[in-house]
Amino acid sequence: MEFKPLFTGKLVRLAAPRPEDNQLFAKWSENDEYLRIADNDPAQPMTPEGWTQFEAAFLNSPNSFHFRLRTLADDTLIGGVGLFQIQWMHQAGSLGIAIGDPAYWGRGYGTDALELILGYAFRELNLYRVGSSTIGYNIRSIKAHEKVGFRQEGIQRSFIQREGKRFDLILYGILRPEWEARQTP
């Protein structure tokens, strides 16, 4: 039997966190543009120690799986991706992704990472449904989600406030049969 790679895509691989990674995540937490697309929470710079504490809650949970995104070309850390809020009884969870290094935005790395994490969710964790969300102005994220087969399931109108303006939060979902139909034999 031939197995498809779980952790290696065309451009990136899913990798375990390394202690030194938090230096770079802390640096990204000071990039205004990154903060405006990576999270719905209020922008807040974090220290490397702060990142370590933040991640500890996720890494120690049986309902979440987090990976670093490293380039295949030279093992450069470019971001992170994970599955969280997994409800095992319902075989459902949510995903989050963030490409921290702007040099890798809009170049297919996020799409490749989404393909990998969906393969992990459906093949390894046996999930049936994966949900995600993105802010309405994050066009790169919208395109990546739709490219890998996510369907728009709803809009939380004016959910996000940024600098005195309101923006929609777009809700996405993909089911295992939809994902399987997109896989090449």
Per residue in 3-17, pLDDT tens? 677 799 999 999 998
Q: Are 35 and 25 in contact (CB under 8 A)?
A: no
Q: What is the CA radius of gyration of the chain?
A: 16
User: With contact defined as beta carbons under 8 Å apart, do 138 and 39 qualify?
Assistant: no
* Predicted local distance difference test score (pLDDT) of residue 156: 97
Q: Is residue 79 part of a domain?
A: yes
CATH number at residue 69: 3.40.630.30
Is 136 in a helix, a strand, or coil?
A: coil
| Residue 169 lies inside a defined structural domain of this protein | no
In a domain, 171, yes or no: no
| pLDDT attached to residue 2 | 67
| Residue numbers of the domain that contains 70 | 12-133
Q: Could you tell me where the beta strands, DSSP code E, fall in the chain?
A: 12-15, 65-71, 77-87, 92-99, 129-135, 151-162, 165-175
DSSP state of 174: E
Claim: this prediction has a pTM higher than 0.85: yes
Residue 55: per-residue pLDDT: 77
Q: Could you give the number of structural domains in the chain?
A: 1
What integer pLDDT is reported at residue 185 of this predicted model? 62
Question: What integer pLDDT is reported at residue 41 of this predicted model?
Answer: 73
| Residue 104 in tokens | 């890798």
Pick out the chain residues at pLDDT < 70: 1-3, 58, 185
